Amino acid sequence: MANPVVHFEIRSADPDAARTFFGQVFDWKFSPGAIPGYTYVEHGVEGAIPGAIGPTQGGPPMVTFFVVVDDVAETLARAERLGGKTIQPAASVPGITFAAFADPQGQIVGIVKPG
């Protein structure tokens, strides 16, 4: 299976300020998301990678992307074997299972399995 990037997120200690900044820089609009303070980016480009801006949820501010995988648990285990670290264990919400890991240099990558 190919592993495309399917989503990006900007996590901020001040999501409203991040929305103001990125909205002005890129002319983005925003629609409500799944959790308080989380909004989807409305960039107006058909077929472009969707994104969101939301709160940090206790971690540092970050920009990350999500990659589709066949097996979230196996991908987390593979990342750890290669020197990565699980940041968010696998969790499921209706329609997807997702998780996040840091690479050996600390960059955070999200992984997701639809279904």
Give pLDDT tens digits for 60-97: 898 999 999 999 999 999 999 999 999 999 999 899 99
Range list of H helices, 1-115: 15-26, 72-81
- pLDDT at residue 57 in the model: 79
Residue 16 confidence class, pLDDT cut points 50, 70, 90: very high
Domain ranges of the chain: 10-57, 69-115
**DSSP assigned state of 79:** H
- Domain 69-115 falls under CATH 3.40.50.1000: no
Residue 54, amino acid: G
Asked whether residue 105 carries a pLDDT value surpassing 90, the answer given is no
